[in-house]
Structure 1
Amino acid sequence: MRRNARPTDVFAAIAVSVILSVPMAAGAAMAESVTTTTGSIAAVKGGSVTIASPDGSRKVVKIQSDTLILRREAATLGAIKPGTPLAVTAKKGAEGSLTAVSINIFSPQLWSRVRKGQWMMDTGNIMTNALVTQVVERVDGRTLYMKLAQGTGIISVPHSAEIHRLITVRLVDLKPGVKVTIRGIANSDGTIKASSITFDRQG
């Protein structure tokens, strides 16, 4: 049975946005200009989206020709097959084992925009972006085997792990009231040039 995404899952979407690359021209502002913003859509007009932040402030987000607009939909482990591109956020155990907290399934077109590999996040969790080589389900648990540049990543998947599929949608799918996570470049005038906009499927 599919699990409905909870409203609080929008905060987990931050992990989705930060792994998407932000194209930058030579000589452009460095990484400190990259920003992540969460809030609710107040208005969509032309090529811009106004976001109402939790603190009451508003930000204008500029949509670019290459801005990714992504909707997260609940999925199950059954949707993951060998060759599936994934982003897995996992906790690292004392003995070095990895246990998945959340899993996001990418489409092939999104995969080209994703940083590949495995690294530690600011939260202390481990991010693994890689192709699945094997999915093993046993009575005592479920395990993902993922292809890395240096060997194989092995991650156990508890039933509590959130699993979502990322779907590319259009600007017209963004509606007032929808909670979103914006990833992009902060402009000097206070606006944000969006690299990605992520939101959860409603209902």
Structure 2
Amino acid sequence: MRKGLFITAEGGEGAGKTTVLKKVYETLVDQGYRVVMTREPGGIKISEEIRSIILNQEHIGMDGRTEVLLYAAARRQHLVEKIIPALQAGKVVLCDRFIDSSLAYQGFARGIGMENVLTINQFAIDKFWPDLTIYFRVDPKVGLARIKKDKSREVNRLDKENEIFHQKVLEGYEQLTKMYKDRIQVVDANQLFDNVYSSTIQMIEQRLETSYQT
């Protein structure tokens, strides 16, 4: 039986969610929570290897459905090997991206269809949906400008997509906020870091207070 709390972070490229999530992790650990921070695709050896294939800048010819299947495969192994054991141990899991990324990027932006991508991913994740998803909403122009300025950031194949693609990703996420309004909470990621972090930790602490015992 699941005992922990599964929290995911979503958003377009350059939204800053990874940096915010790291500070959230530190805050929750300081508060006494047992926390696991991980990412998708990746988090464990097999999934990290799949990540290197998906995000390789040389793989520009990758078919959209192939991309969906690789993400789902990485997600399944990550879930079984790392996320589920952590939840069963009563830990808080902070995951940088999960199923919503596939729905927004491949389902909507790639034009494969959210229902098709959802079907594949439902098979992959079974009943393990996030308890709470923080969506970092950022203007694609703002996000891409941040990426160009941050020389230390990993630049991957998706960063090379044009602005039209990233605008479609935004539209996909907006649809998801309506489809899963009970699960997804929105943070304005166009703001300065401190404001984004403050809004994020407040949302998470409220959820922890009502559904999780330390």
Please confirm whether the aligned pair reaches a TM-score higher than 0.5, indicating the same fold.
Answer: no
What's the TM-score once normalised by structure 1's chain length?
0.28
Decide which structure has the larger Cα Rg and report it.
1
What's the TM-score once normalised by structure 2's chain length?
0.27
Higher helix share: 2
